[in-house]
Every structure is written in C-alpha cells, then in structure tokens.
Homo-oligomer: A and B are copies of this chain.
Amino acid sequence: MTASRALRGAADVSKETREKVLQQAERLNYVGNRLALSLSSQRTNLVAVVVPSMSNIVFPEMLAGISAGLRGSGMQAVFGISDYDMAKEREIIRDMLSWRPAAIIVTGLDQPAETVRMLQNAAIPVIQLMDLDGTPIDFNVGLSHGKAGEEMAKALLAAGRRRFGYIGSAIDRDLRAGKRKAGFEKVLRESGLAFVDERFNAAYSSVAHGKRLSMSMLAATRDLDCIYYSNDDMATGGAFACLELGISSPAEILIAGFNGLDVASALPVRIATSISPRRQMGEVAAALLLAASSGDGSQISEKIIAFTPEITGVD
C-alpha cells in the first residue's frame, strides 16, 4: 500500500520511504499494471476514436490534433478504422467500449440506430466529429458539409462560373462528400443550373483517380468553366490533368475541391478550396472531452461547436 502511494506520488509518504520505493522500482524495472489500476479505480485514461480511413491525410491529421490536445492530461487515444463501413464501425465501437474508455469520439453523425443506442448506453461523453448536419448524440464538433457545398457554389457563381462538372468518389460511402455535393447542387438549381457532366469512381479518393476521371471528362467535353471535386486529392488530380492537357487553369477551367490540403496550396495552378480545420477540430474535441470528464461540466457552455471553412482561390 505504501509502495502504491509512493509510486503515484501521493502526499502521505515520508520522503525516506518514497526514495526507497522508487529506488527498488527502478532496480526491478517495475512497470505498473494499468489493467489492475483501471479495474480497481473504475476509470480509465482511454479515449476511443473511430475514423473511417487512414488513406486520406485529413483523418490522421485529426487524430494528431486529438493526440496533441490530450497530451499532458494523462489520457491516451486509441484508434480504430471503420473503412467507411457502418457495420464495421459498430463492431469497433462495441469492442472499444469493452475497454471502458473515459470518452469516445466518432466521425460524423450518421450512425445507425443500434450504434447510437450502444453509444448512449455507455454513459460516457460521446463526441461526433467533423460533420454538423444531423442530430448529435451528445457533443458535436465540426462543420456543415451541406453548407460548405452551398457556399462554394455561391462563391463560384459570384465569380462568374456557370458551366460546372462534378467529379467524385465512393459517394455512397463518403457521406460528407455527398452532403457537399447536395449543397452545391441545391445552389446551382436555385440559379437554374445543373452539373453539365458528372463522373464517379467506385474506389476512394486519390490524386490518380481524380486525374483519370478529369481526363475522361475533358475528353468528352470542354464546355466547362469549373469542375467541383469531392475533395482536394481528387482536385489535385484535376489540376494535373489540366496541366497535361494544356488547359489554362483557372482562366479557362477552375478546379474546386475541399479540405485545403498542403499540396493543393503549393500547386502551380490556383485551385479553389474550402479549408477544413481538421487538426483544430481534433484539438477542440480533446479539450471538450477533458472538460467533460473533469466532472466540472459547468465550464462547458456549448455542446455543439461549429466551424466555418474558409473558401480560398475562387478568384
């Protein structure tokens, strides 16, 4: 018992005893057992996080934000990858909950009812991250992808663009990309417009797919002055296609994406994008959850924290 106290730096241990304990611990290469600690104390330092993918840099960046936001708090993030599969996500969450995490962070807020029930039942802070379009279970940190699509369409229309193409990927699984497209289309419709051409890829977004689909669209028609992409990876491929085909961009055709990736801003052609603060969202989620589990709920004023992506490169 005294050793236990000394090891975790409790107050009521004589300096002398503490020294001895620490010394022996060092000598024996003692490593505490968190399983026992957590089981006994009925609390863990685990934060479960579920992301849809690791192949798109935005999720790792978000994880880095969470990890950084948690640093120093003693909390430890545990990650699971759902591959954009709701059934897989449910199993991952079930599995993670069995570790009795202090909180859980999931991507988006389109979980099916059973997953929602599981999450509610866990009786821990739940944060739904990235998206804002839907009904949150508990906390919600993100941006409205529908609105992001709308705003981009408005900005492009204001800049005089009229003939739009759309290029996307796995639109059935990447729900947030779908919401952006829907928002974009809504604004187009309100101006009596529609996409001139649409091309999709069954697989997930990548620069190569963006380029390939762009090449095929541009081979079919040049009657375009803007192409909206599901994200910046795809858009980067579009920029490459323009460069290769000698299409002057943005003059002739403006490439528009979403995320504000590092690579997009360095591109030799200017592209339009909405900058999503994914790292910051992760940090904010971490801060929120720290506040929530510190018991002092009083300092939490809002359960929903909304970000607005900044649009750049339109003109």
Residue from A35, A64, A267 having most chain B Cβ neighbours under 10 A: A35
- A residues within 8 Å of B by Cβ? 29, 31-39, 44, 53-55, 57, 59-61, 63-64, 67, 76-81, 94-95, 97-100, 117-118, 121-122, 206-208, 210-211, 233, 236-237, 240, 243-244, 262-263, 265-268
Q: Measured between alpha carbons, how far is A237 from B264 in the docked complex, in Å?
A: 11
Q: Measured between alpha carbons, how far is A265 from B212 in the docked complex, in Å?
A: 12
Do the beta carbons of A79 and B81 come within 8 Å of each other?
A: no
Do the beta carbons of A81 and B98 come within 8 Å of each other?
A: no
Minimum CB distance partner of A79 in chain B: B79
Whole-angstrom distance between the Cβ of A237 and the nearest chain B Cβ = 6
Q: CB-CB < 8 A to A97: which residues of B? A: 31
Contact partner, A240, options B31, B53, B122, B267, Cβ 8 Å: B267
- When all copies of this chain in the complex are counted, the total is 2
Q: CB-CB < 8 A to A267: which residues of B? A: 240
Q: Measured between alpha carbons, how far is A117 from B28 in the docked complex, in Å?
A: 12
Contact partner, A263, options B81, B95, B207, B265, Cβ 8 Å: B207
Q: Measured between alpha carbons, how far is A55 from B282 in the docked complex, in Å?
A: 14
Q: CB-CB < 8 A to A54: which residues of B? A: 60-61, 63-64, 67
Do the beta carbons of B208 and A237 come within 8 Å of each other?
A: no
Contact partner, A98, options B32, B59, B61, B262, Cβ 8 Å: B32
Whole-angstrom distance between the Cβ of A248 and the nearest chain B Cβ = 13
Q: Measured between alpha carbons, how far is A120 from B148 in the docked complex, in Å?
A: 51
Do the beta carbons of B268 and A243 come within 8 Å of each other?
A: yes
Q: A57-B60, A207-B262 are in contact. List 10 more A-B contacts (CB 8 A).
A: A31-B121, A33-B39, A34-B100, A35-B44, A36-B39, A39-B39, A53-B64, A55-B60, A210-B266, A243-B268
Q: Measured between alpha carbons, how far is A54 from B64 in the docked complex, in Å?
A: 6
Q: CB-CB < 8 A to A262: which residues of B? A: 206-208
Minimum CB distance partner of A36 in chain B: B39
Residue from A31, A55, A77 having most chain B Cβ neighbours under 10 A: A31
Q: Measured between alpha carbons, how far is A208 from B55 in the docked complex, in Å?
A: 20
Minimum CB distance partner of A49 in chain B: B79
Q: Measured between alpha carbons, how far is A57 from B263 in the docked complex, in Å?
A: 12
Do the beta carbons of A263 and B236 come within 8 Å of each other?
A: yes
Q: CB-CB < 8 A to A263: which residues of B? A: 207, 233, 236, 263
Whole-angstrom distance between the Cβ of A46 and the nearest chain B Cβ = 9
